[in-house]
């Protein structure tokens, strides 16, 4: 095979591969049928190309209310995320409020999973944990929990998720 033929074949293969999208490949190999681009058991769309592929990094300064929960001290191991909904409250998944965790802190204002890296980041000790009264840990029926941390002086609460009765 000459180099010209090889280059032509490679170009054709490249065009064919580039014409396939992730959703086309996924739909060909899906063992069950999906209608309207919706999964049968969730609200997630199957067209991951539109949701993830080609996305961009978020500017963490636009989301200062995002919180990281960590155990083992202010710079300990991160284990869950949450949202600052009021100056002293972080909303998180109920399973994140495991009673066996000790020395739990909320990390605010950092773009790093470790909570470090920015002078304005805050590490605030959690002083009390609340699970929704209807939460069933065995079955995970109600997945809301709230942690009360010390006052988060530099970080504004979320405008999207507001405080109130949970």
Task: Give percent above pLDDT 90 in the chain.
Answer: 0
Q: How far apart (Å, rounded) are the C-alpha atoms in residues 113 and 98? A: 20
Q: Taking 80 as the threshold, does the pLDDT of residue 166 lie above it?
A: no
Q: Taking 80 as the threshold, does the pLDDT of residue 79 lie above it?
A: yes
Comparing CA positions, the residue from 117, 97, 115 lying closest to residue 107 is 115
Q: Taking 50 as the threshold, does the pLDDT of residue 141 lie above it?
A: no
**CB contact set of 11 (below 8 Å; sequence gap of 6+):** none
61 vs 38, residue with greater confidence: 61
Work out the average pLDDT over 79-101: 85
129 vs 31, residue with greater confidence: 129
- What residues does each domain of the chain span? 3-51, 60-149
pLDDT of residue 20: 39
Q: Taking 60 as the threshold, does the pLDDT of residue 2 lie above it?
A: yes
The matching CATH number, chosen from 2.60.40.10, 2.40.10.10, 3.40.50.720, 2.40.50.100, for 60-149 is 2.40.10.10
**Parallel, antiparallel or unpaired: strands 66-71 and 104-108:** antiparallel
Residue 91 near residue 165, CB atoms below 8 Å: no
């Amino acid at each position: 095979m000459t180099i010209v033929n090889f280059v032509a074949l490679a170009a054709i293969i490249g065009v064919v591969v580039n014409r396939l999208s992730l959703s086309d490949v996924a739909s060909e190999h899906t063992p069950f049928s999906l209608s309207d681009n919706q999964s049968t058991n969730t609200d997630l769309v199957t067209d991951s190309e539109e949701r993830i592929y080609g996305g961009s990094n978020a500017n963490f300064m636009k989301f200062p209310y995002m919180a990281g929960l960590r155990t083992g001290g202010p710079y300990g191991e991160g284990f869950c995320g949450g949202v600052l909904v009021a100056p002293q409250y972080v909303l998180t998944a109920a399973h994140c409020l495991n009673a066996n965790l000790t020395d739990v802190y909320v990390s605010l204002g950092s773009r790093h999973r470790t909570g470090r890296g920015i002078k304005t980041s805050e590490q605030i000790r959690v002083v009390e944990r609340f699970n929704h009264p209807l939460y069933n840990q065995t079955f995970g029926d109600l997945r809301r929990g709230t942690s009360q941390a010390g006052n988060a002086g530099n970080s504004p609460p979320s405008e999207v998720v507001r405080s109130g009765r949970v």
